[in-house]
Amino acid sequence: MLRVGASRLARAAAARSAGSRLHLRFKTTDTSGALGIKEALGAKIPAAIADVKAVREAYGDEQLGTCTVTQAYGGMRSVKAMTYETSLLDAEEGIRFRGLTLPECQAQLPRAAGGAEPLPEGIFWLLLTGDVPTDAQVHALREEFASRSTLPAEAVAVIDALPTDMHPMTQLNAGVLALQPQSAMAAAYAKGVHKSTYWEYCLDDALTLLAQLPEVAARIYRRSFHDGSMTPSAAGELDMGANYARMMGFEDPKFDELMRLYLTIHADHEGGNVSAHAVRLVGSALSDPFLSFSGGLAGLAGPLHGLANQEVLRWLMEMKESLGTTKMTKEALTGLVWDVLNAGKVVPGFGHAVLRKTDPRYTCQREFALKHMPDDEMFRMVSMLYEVVPAVLTEQGKVKNPYPNVDAHSGVLLRHYGLTEARYYTVMFGVSRAIGTLASLVWDRALGLPIERPKSVTTGWIKAHFEGKK
């Protein structure tokens, strides 16, 4: 790695000193003296900047990939045209978080006492710093979140004024925007701080947003589907997953475990998906993390992205209704799946834009179900569809990946524990996706990535360009 010049480091140090006078709200260490999350990240940034500089100098003129006309019209599918540090999606093995597979994350990240699933605070630390945190570091981060978790009264008033029949994702986006006046980054930019310190204020906002988002989401759930009463937040006493569950009104320790798993596996999925890319795109204009994440939520609310888990459960319930008194067998389900395809519809929850095998996130959920709810009727249907649908789609021959994705399973797990309101499911996806997209956004500012501005052309330009070569 290249060294960062002394003068540059001096300027950055001076800027950081000036920035400290803006009273950033960080606890620097835990009681054991271990590095806090800001210091752990700050120690890595100079080397990462040098690494990016070295890569750009060595390979800057190399072509990452060729964009065809088909790709330009087809949503830029698979065009290698961006970097994203926190996760990487492989077509064969699925997602890796900072190089770790999901099973490796489950094995290596800190867990709750007596639990088997990773703590959400741990996955944020991993994605942000690239290191597996210690138990002490996760505890310190939980305390950091707790110190920031109280919702501003003005934001509560905004959320409580929203119509309860408004889609929960619209409410969540409104709630996030209502939190924005707290933005340290917006205030720092207005004061003219040096750009080398933007990441510090971006991290400040990310921690505040992550600390407050579960309560915003839980408040929306209680208002929309119950009487509005809510268990007070126990941030600091409970981990993010368990506290979120408790605020929604769930007390089963197994549901706590499900929340930890859910928040972990949905946290990140490299940078090209709509929600992650929207956060980066908006953030590239130096919009603060609250505004940037709002853009990501708007994309996540689409039926081709995060709303898909809601669609899958609706379809499964329709399948169950279609069976009626008919015994659930592979033959009966095969006929129903062919009915869906012959009607010109798609089978929700199967296939993926990148993956060419079963989504490891599906597998994690399946293993959870086999352990905790093997006799659940809807789980039995999902399991049988796992045997049926890939064979049908392969026979049809129109899809590259006939295997289930993450959305094929999550609704059934949530429904088993009593969270039956499918309109709410994408809100939980949003709480999880904040973990990865905000970690990545901090790195965007640390590396000084510029505003995104790809070149577009018209259909007429394409015709003239290629016809001129004939």
Q: Which residue has the tokens 């609250």?
A: 290
What are the C-alpha distances in Å from 356 to residues 94, 243, 381?
9, 36, 23
**Rounded Cα–Cα distance for residues 438 and 72 (Å):** 28
Residue 256 falls in the annotated catalytic set? no
Token digits for 66? 């060729």
Q: Which one of the listed residues 266, 277, 305, 409 is annotated catalytic? A: 305
User: Which residues have C-beta within 8 Å of that of residue 393, sequence separation ≥ 6?
Assistant: 347, 350, 351, 399, 402
**Rounded Cα–Cα distance for residues 85 and 31 (Å):** 30
User: Which residues have C-beta within 8 Å of that of residue 37, sequence separation ≥ 6?
Assistant: 26, 125, 128, 129, 137, 140, 141, 144, 203, 207
User: Which residues have C-beta within 8 Å of that of residue 455, sequence separation ≥ 6?
Assistant: none
Q: Which one of the listed residues 352, 359, 409, 416 is annotated catalytic? A: 352
* DSSP structural state of residue 197: G
N- to C-terminal Cα separation, the chain: 47
Buried b (16+ CB within 10 A) or exposed e, 358-390: bbbbbbbbbebbeebbeebebbebbbbbbebbb
Contact in structure between 448 and 197 (CB atoms under 8 Å): no
Contact in structure between 450 and 282 (CB atoms under 8 Å): no
Residue 352 falls in the annotated catalytic set? yes
User: Which residues have C-beta within 8 Å of that of residue 149, sequence separation ≥ 6?
Assistant: 211, 212, 215, 233, 235, 236
Token digits for 450? 């510029």
Q: Which one of the listed residues 268, 288, 359, 407 is annotated catalytic? A: 407
Q: Which among 77, 278, 68 is positioned nearest to 176, based on CA atoms? A: 278
Q: Which residue has the tokens 């079963």?
A: 358
The helix or strand, by DSSP H or E, that contains position 87, with its residue range, turns out to be strand 87-90
Residue 465 falls in the annotated catalytic set? no
Catalytic residues: 305, 352, 407
